[in-house]
A and B are shown apart, each in its own frame.
Chain A
């Protein structure tokens, strides 16, 4: 690992007290992030990926939530930070782009005023200077005629344009970490390609690190440097982009890779699906949480596997699966491609 670490998350735990009992949304998540790095956090709905991202900014705090572990940003502990401390970091040091550009802007304020408000909240700047900066930001994210459009209201913008405004706003204080929670999920593919290109360019220009939360492995392949795969609150595999795509160690990763549809390949007669459903976070199976859906599960899987090096090519490629690394290489090939054996064909 390179020397400078911007963000170090270690054993992060988040649980919520609900009517159905204690929900363990995030269970011992650890990762770190260096400058200019793009880390993708991948998983299905309810796996805890968004809660992880939001917890870093203190957005999950409530009387019913409990936290554990640490998240250190340049020497400052985020998990136990006071609201005042967090307010200084939030937006200025760590900024967030949310999924839904339709609901994350205030509909009754002009776009420009909303960006100006954020700039002035973090530094003594005059309104006029902040406005110039806002125009410059809008130009940088690719909004044409920014000087005129800065006076528009959110409803006058399309979804893609609003997402650009969100990115401009996130960049307004030159953050060193940008958290993007499904930034392109609500957008059309042609617009998605434009926005992803933008995020990559900005990383190159400003050197900001990016945490990209997504369910879409296509997006991951396009932009990420490293990938953490989450399942039921835990990271089940973590490695570089190529390690995850070409040498995946965890059966859940195989399943995710196998269920992507490819437009540039002949189509399979049947789409490979992962059988069953993710467990309820209030009542997770003991041991490996993926065990009930895994065709390769065996006796050992009732014990919880640690997230550690088990047989990848580099020591930083870590996973939580008890299977023998040699056996994995064979098991993950289904009909000539990476995938998870359908339950009706499994013999293991």
Chain B
């Protein structure tokens, strides 16, 4: 959002994720669980999120974006790699160790109908985190009123139950609850996907204001590229458990490097009939493969029109192009010979990736 520099540039890293991996085992047998296969839900993902920054995380269903966000919150236990929050390692921390960090990392969920307890009033829901961390009585009530006001609800809403609210209002309640402990980072898992377009804009504008006032960092998870653009400074595109491209937000739309990003952008319907009639559509064929048995080499190669032998055999590393734009592709789009010559292998590359960078 406005006013913040993009990654690096002296801002302090808030969340550092290195080679994070979460493989779900598929077990078989009655007495002895034999591991038959593994679902590669999050497969060697690395990125850094700085204070006050918004990173958009985009991918289609089943790409591992929700698993990744839940792993960062430690709602799921990673099977490898590290997560550092404010320099503290939390990938393997126990419940007690996690407590101070939990205060600073909060989550807003996708479904405003399922994420609030229907039998609790708004005040009870919003004050639960406050009570868990020591606030009582009058003080807690005062904070609840403040929080509701901050997210654009009236103080008298505190006594009502979730069913009395619309989807957009419920999402505001979810945001108020996330703000209760004054976190540094909020992970937003598809916070507006369940809402009508006109209400989506209200919630996004609210998130924008809150960030400006409270210096929050956001990890904004979404399934398409149209919404994240309005909130993100950088955007990461995920496919089958891996990062395909990480780019400064605007550049992703003007200069998408990875063929998968190009396909995602091409698939978004343009709300302009005349342009639609003229536009050459790249419609990517097929569906995402099964994450139990991911394709060899580049995981996107079976659906990619530029795939070659190299793509089938060698996993491409994340190459760093100008502006800190990263992409994992042997045949990058929209890059100049100069960009290619200056490209370097980024340390965020998966450990299993090759060393060869794309050439002109």
Q: A45-B196, A267-B250, A277-B168 are in contact. Are A189 and B267 (CB under 8 A)?
A: yes
What's the Cα separation between A274 and B196 when bound, in Å? Answer: 11
Q: A131: CB under 8 A from chain B?
A: no
Q: Pick the interface stretch among A25-33, A60-68, A168-176, A190-198.
A: A190-198
Residues from chain B with Cβ under 8 Å of A222 in the complex = 269-270, 276
CB distance from B154 to the nearest CB of A (A): 13
B200 at the interface (CB under 8 A from A): yes
A275–B266 Cα distance when bound, in Å, is 31
Sort A-B residue pairs by CB-CB distance and give the 10 closest, nearest first: A218-B269, A273-B201, A188-B60, A274-B198, A271-B201, A44-B196, A189-B267, A193-B267, A261-B226, A273-B202
A257 within 8 A of B: yes
A262 to chain B minimum Cβ distance, whole angstroms, is 7
B287 touches A272 (CB 8 A): no
Task: Judge whether A189 and B201 touch: CB under 8 Å.
Answer: no
Q: Is the CB of B272 within 8 A of A263?
A: no
Pick 24 A–B contacts, CB within 8 A, sort by A. Answer: A44-B197, A160-B287, A188-B223, A188-B224, A189-B224, A189-B268, A192-B269, A215-B196, A218-B270, A219-B269, A221-B276, A242-B274, A256-B198, A261-B226, A261-B227, A261-B229, A263-B229, A267-B230, A270-B208, A271-B230, A273-B199, A273-B202, A274-B198, A277-B199
Interface size of A in residues (CB-CB distance below 8 Å): 47
B contact face: mostly helix, strand, loop, or mixed? helix
Contact B198 A255 (CB under 8 A): yes
Query: Which A residues are in CB contact (< 8 Å) with B205?
Result: 270-271, 273
- Chain B residues lying within 8 Å of A193, measured Cβ to Cβ, are 266-267, 269, 281, 283-284
Smallest CB–CB gap between B216 and chain A, Å? Answer: 18
Q: A259–B264 contact, CB under 8 A?
A: no
A-B pairs under 8 A by CB, number: 121
* B interface size (C-beta, 8 A): 45
Say yes or no for B61: interface residue by CB 8 A criterion.
yes
Q: Beta-carbon contacts of B236-269 to A below 8 Å, as 1s and 0s?
A: 0000000000000010010000000001111111
CB-defined contacts of A242 to chain B, threshold 8 Å: 273-274
The answer to whether the Cβ of B225 comes within 8 Å of any Cβ in the partner chain is: yes
Of residues 264 to 323 in B, which have CB atoms within 8 Å of A's CB atoms? 264-276, 281, 283-285, 287
Given contacts A189-B223, A261-B230, 10 further A-B contacts (CB under 8 A): A190-B264, A215-B196, A216-B197, A222-B270, A246-B274, A261-B226, A261-B227, A261-B229, A262-B271, A277-B169
The CA of A124 and the CA of B205, in the complex, are separated in Å by 59
Min CB–CB distance A3 → chain B (angstroms) = 25
Neighbouring B residues of A260 by C-beta, 8 Å = 197, 271
Interface of B toward A, CB cutoff 8 Å: 2, 60-61, 166-169, 196-202, 204-205, 208, 223-227, 229-230, 250, 253, 263-276, 281, 283-285, 287
- The chain A residues found within 8 Å of chain B, CB to CB, are 44-45, 158-161, 188-194, 196-197, 215-222, 241-242, 245-246, 255-257, 259-264, 266-275, 277
Residues of A within 8 Å of B204, CB to CB, are: 271
Most chain-A CB neighbours within 10 Å: which of B167, B202, B285?
B202
Inter-chain contact B226/A263, CB cutoff 8 Å: yes
Chain A residue at minimum C-beta to C-beta distance from B193: A185
Q: B59's closest neighbor in chain A, by CB?
A: A188
Bound CA–CA A264/B265 (angstroms): 9
Closest-CB distance, B193 to chain A (whole angstroms): 10
Which residue on B lies nearest to A194, using beta carbons?
B283
Q: How far is the CA of A267 from the CA of B281 in the complex (A)?
A: 22
A87 CB, min distance to chain B CBs, angstroms = 34
A186 to chain B, nearest CB (A): 9
Write the nearest CB–CB distance from A244 to chain B, whole angstroms. Answer: 9
Enumerate chain B residues within 8 angstroms of A217, measured Cβ to Cβ: 197, 271
A245 and B271 contact, Cβ closer than 8 Å, known pairs A189-B224, A271-B205, A277-B166: yes
Residue in contact with A263 in the complex, picked from B199, B225, B273, CB distance below 8 Å: B225
Are B283 and A221 within 8 A (Cβ)?
A: no
Q: Name the B residues within 8 Å of A275 (CB-CB).
A: 202
Out of B61, B167, B226, B273, which one reaches A221, CB within 8 Å? B273
Which of A216, A263, A266, A269 has the most B CB atoms < 10 Å from its CB?
A263
